[in-house]
Amino acid sequence: MELEPTDEQKAIVDAIRDFAQNEVRPANRECEEAGVVSERIEKQLVEMGVAAPVAEQYGGQGTFDTMTSVLIAEELSWGDPGVAFSILGSGLAATIVDLAGTDAQKSELLPKFTEGARGSVALAERDAGADFTVLEARATKDEIHGLKYGVLHADSAAVRLVVTGGDDLGVWIVPEAEELSAQQEDKLGLRAASTFKVRFEGVKTERLGGSPDPAKVRLALLRAKLLNAGIAIGLGRAALEYASVYAQERTAFGRPIGAFQGISFKIADRAMDLETARLLAWKAAWAIDNDLNDAHELVMSACGHAAAAAVTTADDGVQILGGHGYMRDHPEELWYRDAMTLATFDSPSMIGDVFLSKTYEVAE
């Protein structure tokens, strides 16, 4: 067992961390209020090759393995979870095309990302968030029918993908000319990421990868899922760190409130939740990168744990700041909203658990 990231990963983490601290965190309210990531931040992340990782042969700066993408997600989300969700969720389309597309599709779609184009992946449904094996959207004769929630950039993406369920779990490419019936979601948190409810009624599309290959699609979607675990961990770390600073500065009854165990035990508990969530996410990333059989189970487990950790940590974050935590002068209330949105969006811990349990009989 080894828990030391590579030198390359460390360098990337350092770069993103600096950027998150100097550029993203100070702009968190600006992005939230505008409902989009500021142009300045988006442009820089595209230039850094982080927004949409594309292989060099398609004009990009190279792709990341799953482990690296999880490390990046944590750091960027520390800056702002909404920004991370918007940017990395957009780039996910590039990763999915890269993993499951034909050569022709890659040549056509991937170079768009290097020019700053956004991507969009329509995956979540009302009854199928984390569990993409029960998706109800269907493709018949290359036409898509279904209702999708939380579709990022449905109004602006140049590369739009739709995931459909059934026996042949598939990803489909919506032609750029196609007008979608999209309704912007006015939501609790992650407001810097503009998302839409999209109804597909016979939208004509083309299958990513040409012929059905559910195994390949599943792998690509697992990477998509795990990204949310990374975002949840970054959010939790931000909230816990902020509350820990506050607990040392704020005094009550003549002592810093962090000296009281009612506060310090919360900090210890949430630190354990985050540490365990991070290790589960790393293990899941390692399993994907090494093509292990239990990757699916590990991803669901990591997502469930990370989402729960983020929600609990953000809750305690507000609680530790007390009345101040409720005010917009501090970011805890932002993370409190973001955490629950992230959890319901895509990896509710409940669904993660139930789904996971379906694998135990065959897995063990």
To another protein, the closest distance from the beta carbon of 299 in angstroms equals: 12
If binding is defined by CB under 8 A, does position 3 make contact with another protein? yes
Name the packing angle between helices 81-100 and 214-249 (round to 10°).
Answer: 160
Report the alpha-carbon distance of residue 17 to residue 32 in Å, rounded.
Answer: 20
- 58 CB contacts (<8 Å, ≥6 apart)? 106, 107, 110, 111, 114
Integer angstrom CA distances of residue 191 from 84, 145, 207, 340? 11, 27, 31, 12
If binding is defined by CB under 8 A, does position 231 make contact with another protein? no
Q: Which range touches another protein (CB under 8 A), out of 22-30, 170-178, 301-309, 340-348?
A: 301-309
Q: DSSP characters for 276-311?
A: HHHHHHHHHHHHHHTT-TTHHHHHHHHHHHHHHHHH
Give the number of other Cβ atoms within 10 Å of residue 244's Cβ.
18
Q: Which is nearer to another protein, 252 or 268 (CB)?
A: 268
If binding is defined by CB under 8 A, does position 356 make contact with another protein? yes
Candidate residues 48, 271, 319, 324; the one interacting with another protein per rule CB under 8 A: 271
If binding is defined by CB under 8 A, does position 274 make contact with another protein? yes
Q: Which is nearer to another protein, 2 or 103 (CB)?
A: 2
If binding is defined by CB under 8 A, does position 269 make contact with another protein? yes
To another protein, the closest distance from the beta carbon of 38 in angstroms equals: 26
Nearest one of 112, 113, 66 to 91, comparing CA atoms: 113
Name the helix (H) or strand (E) containing 203.
strand 195-204
To another protein, the closest distance from the beta carbon of 177 in angstroms equals: 43
To another protein, the closest distance from the beta carbon of 287 in angstroms equals: 8
If binding is defined by CB under 8 A, does position 164 make contact with another protein? no
Report the alpha-carbon distance of residue 165 to residue 175 in Å, rounded.
Answer: 20
Candidate residues 179, 186, 254, 360; the one interacting with another protein per rule CB under 8 A: 360
Report the alpha-carbon distance of residue 343 to residue 314 in Å, rounded.
Answer: 12
If binding is defined by CB under 8 A, does position 272 make contact with another protein? yes
To another protein, the closest distance from the beta carbon of 161 in angstroms equals: 29
Q: Which positions lie near another protein, rule CB under 8 A?
A: 1-6, 9-10, 13, 67, 71, 74, 237, 240-241, 244-245, 247-248, 258, 261, 264-265, 267-269, 271-272, 274-280, 282-283, 285-287, 301, 304-305, 350, 352-358, 360-361, 364
